[in-house]
């Protein structure tokens, strides 16, 4: 491993890409600490500390995770890159629903460029709406140290805040594209990755201090072993593939009859990535947020619903897991069309051994896909509820921030982005006749 790291900096082009990526990420972290003008920072900190003790803090922590802590400080990058991700997901769904967009997405590079342009327009619209809602909510915040926004703040504060937050997200989108073009790895993913990773050392130190104060070093060893096990499970889930063998008939090439090589259709165990966790988290925490905003907490039935869906409860974990399984099937069905695969195989003379071309092939692929998605979705749901299990078992010893780094969206993003980036670095090294990170086998990315 040490020699591989040394080889990275021996290649001038690769060295420049890595340094450029690091500089952009440093710029992102600096921007994540520049607050919006006109905010009482002390009152804001007191408000979030108070909100963290209730159920409303779970949703805030979830969105703050993607903003890299910028939402809690209401900086120029308060919304992070989430509006762009939401716009990309919406555009993917519309591509399936609207035939014109589907045709456009199949037109090659030019079509993809137009779809990306529409995604950017959607990002601006979504970001402006979310920034307006965030600003209005910010003006209503009152903590023990006073109002977050002065009472005399007028329409100009709203305009400045909306423009600042929207511009911050667009700058992040631009920085992510710069990393993708001139740096190493996927820029958008690396920005989210950096926002999560910077929260790991404080969370570990907090938990380490708690455990030492209680004099329980065995728990520390157990947590380290559990953390390694969950990371291994995330890697297995990210890289797991079910291959369906495909054979092709003989073709005439020149004057010779050539047998085409056997290939395989790769079906990913977790084809939907972290999208099901994002959707499920938003849905399961939505009733609590709406109730707090609308002020219906005085009704007994709502208090029961809020209690059942509060993180850590058994009903919450069951409902959360079922939602993840549902969204895994939903998103996989949108992204993967067995009918198109069967038609393409038939068009190019390919077939699955023992299966007739056409409808039989489509049914066979769908059956395999359903089985693979079921196992992958259950595995994903188990990883997603690991933080709640840890909090229930060790509520006083493990901080919530570290618990949520043990599983769910955080760990899947860290593992997935790290594997993708290492795969790109290894391919650059192998191109220049250097050894990769591992002597046997190869690093396989998510895509």
Does some domain include residue 282?
yes
Does some domain include residue 272?
yes
Task: Mark whether 376 and 316 lie in a shared domain.
Answer: yes
Which pLDDT value is given to residue 23?
A: 92
Task: Mark whether 245 and 141 lie in a shared domain.
Answer: no
Task: Mark whether 234 and 162 lie in a shared domain.
Answer: no
Does some domain include residue 18?
yes
Task: Mark whether 338 and 289 lie in a shared domain.
Answer: yes
Task: Mark whether 272 and 383 lie in a shared domain.
Answer: yes
Which pLDDT value is given to residue 302?
A: 65
Number of domains in the chain: 2
Which pLDDT value is given to residue 357?
A: 84
Task: Mark whether 218 and 141 lie in a shared domain.
Answer: no
Does some domain include residue 355?
yes
pLDDT in tens, 340-371: 888 888 887 778 888 888 888 888 888 998 89
pLDDT band (50, 70, 90) for residue 447? very low
Residues 272, 274, 278, 281, CA torsion sign: positive
Q: In three state form, how does the secondary structure of the chain look?
A: CHHHHHHHCCCHHHHHHHHHHHHHHHHHHHHCCCECCCCCHHHHHHHHHHHCCCCHHHHHHHHHHHCCCHHHHCECCCCCCHHHHHHHHHHHHHHHHCHHHHHHHCCCHHHHHHHHHHHHHHHHHHHHHHHHHHHHHHHCCEECCEECCCCCCCHHHHHHHHHHHHHHHHHHHHHHHHHHHHCCCCHHHHHHHHHHHCCHHHHHHHHHHHHHHHCCHHHHHHHHHHHHHHHHHHHHHHHCEEEEEEEECEEEECCEEEECCCEEEEEECCCCCCHHHHHHHHHHHHHHHHHHHHCCCCCHHHHHHHHHCCCCCHHHHHHHHHHHHHHHHHHHHHHCCHHHHHHHHHHCCEECCCCCCCHHHHHHHHHHHHHHHHHHHHHHHHHHHHHHHHHHHCCCCCCHHHHHHCCHHHHHHHHHHHHHHHHHHHHHHHHCCCCCCCCCCCCCCCC
Task: Mark whether 250 and 346 lie in a shared domain.
Answer: yes
Which pLDDT value is given to residue 418?
A: 83
Q: Which position has the token pair 């399936």?
A: 96
Task: Write down which residue in 198, 232, 262 finishes a domain.
Answer: 198
Whole-number average pLDDT of the chain: 79
Mean pLDDT of 107-116: 82
Of 107-116, 265-274, 299-308, least confident by mean pLDDT is: 299-308
Does some domain include residue 310?
yes
Task: Mark whether 186 and 248 lie in a shared domain.
Answer: no
Task: Mark whether 128 and 242 lie in a shared domain.
Answer: no
- What does the alpha-carbon distance between residue 376 and residue 324 come to, in Å, rounded to a whole number? 10
Mean pLDDT of 224-250: 82
- What does the alpha-carbon distance between residue 226 and residue 395 come to, in Å, rounded to a whole number? 16
Task: Mark whether 182 and 299 lie in a shared domain.
Answer: no
- What does the alpha-carbon distance between residue 134 and residue 165 come to, in Å, rounded to a whole number? 9
Domain span at residue 266 reads 210-414
Task: Mark whether 167 and 221 lie in a shared domain.
Answer: no
Does some domain include residue 424?
no
Task: Mark whether 285 and 401 lie in a shared domain.
Answer: yes
pLDDT over 50 (residue 61): yes
230 neighbors 383 (Cβ within 8 angstroms) = yes
pLDDT in tens, 21-43: 999 999 998 888 888 887 877 88
Does some domain include residue 446?
no
pLDDT in tens, 277-288: 777 876 776 666
The Cβ of residue 204 has, within 10 Å, a number of other Cβ atoms equal to 16
- CATH code at 347? 1.10.3370.10
Does some domain include residue 278?
yes
- What does the alpha-carbon distance between residue 82 and residue 85 come to, in Å, rounded to a whole number? 5
């Amino acid at each position: 491993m040490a020699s591989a790291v040394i080889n990275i900096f021996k290649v001038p082009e690769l060295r420049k890409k890595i340094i450029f990526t690091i500089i952009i990420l440093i710029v992102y972290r600096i921007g994540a600490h520049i607050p919006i003008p006109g905010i009482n920072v002390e009152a804001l900190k007191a408000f979030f500390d108070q909100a963290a003790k209730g159920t409303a803090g779970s949703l805030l922590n979830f969105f703050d995770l993607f903003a890299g802590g910028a939402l809690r400080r209401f900086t120029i990058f308060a919304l992070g890159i989430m509006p762009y991700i939401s716009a990309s997901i919406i555009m993917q769904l519309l591509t399936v629903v609207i035939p014109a967009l589907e045709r456009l997405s199949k037109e090659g590079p030019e079509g993809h460029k137009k779809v990306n342009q529409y995604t950017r327009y959607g990002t601006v619209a979504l970001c402006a709406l979310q920034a307006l809602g965030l600003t209005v909510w910010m003006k209503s915040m009152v903590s023990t140290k006073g109002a977050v926004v002065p009472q005399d703040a007028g329409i100009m504060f709203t305009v400045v805040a909306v423009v600042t937050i929207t511009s911050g997200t667009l700058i992040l989108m631009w920085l992510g594209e710069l990393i993708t073009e001139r740096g190493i790895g996927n820029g958008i993913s690396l920005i989210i990755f950096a926002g999560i990773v910077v929260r790991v050392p404080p969370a570990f130190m907090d938990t380490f201090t708690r455990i030492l104060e209680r004099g329980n070093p065995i728990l520390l060893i157990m947590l380290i072993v559990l953390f390694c096990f969950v990371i291994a499970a995330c890697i297995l889930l990210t890289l797991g593939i079910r291959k369906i063998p495909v054979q092709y008939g003989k073709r005439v090439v020149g004057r010779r009859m050539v047998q085409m090589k056997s290939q395989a259709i790769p079906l990913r165990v977790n084809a939907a990535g972290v999208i099901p966790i994002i959707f499920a988290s938003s849905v399961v925490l939505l009733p609590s947020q709406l109730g707090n905003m609308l002020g219906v907490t005085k009704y007994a039935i709502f208090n029961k619903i809020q209690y059942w869906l509060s993180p850590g409860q058994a009903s919450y974990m069951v409902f959360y897991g079922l939602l993840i399984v549902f969204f895994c099937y939903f998103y996989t069905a949108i992204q993967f069309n067995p009918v198109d695969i069967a038609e393409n195989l038939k068009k190019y003379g390919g077939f699955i051994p023992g299966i007739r071309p056409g409808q039989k092939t489509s049914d066979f692929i769908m059956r395999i896909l359903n089985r693979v998605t079921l196992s992958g979705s259950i595995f994903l749901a188990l990883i997603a509820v690991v933080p709640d299990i840890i909090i229930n078992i060790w509520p006083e010893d493990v901080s919530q921030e570290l618990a949520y780094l043990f599983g769910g969206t955080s760990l899947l993003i860290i593992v997935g982005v790290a594997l993708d980036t290492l795969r790109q670095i290894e391919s650059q090294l192998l191109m220049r006749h250097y050894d990769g990170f591992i002597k046997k086998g190869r690093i396989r990315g998510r895509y």
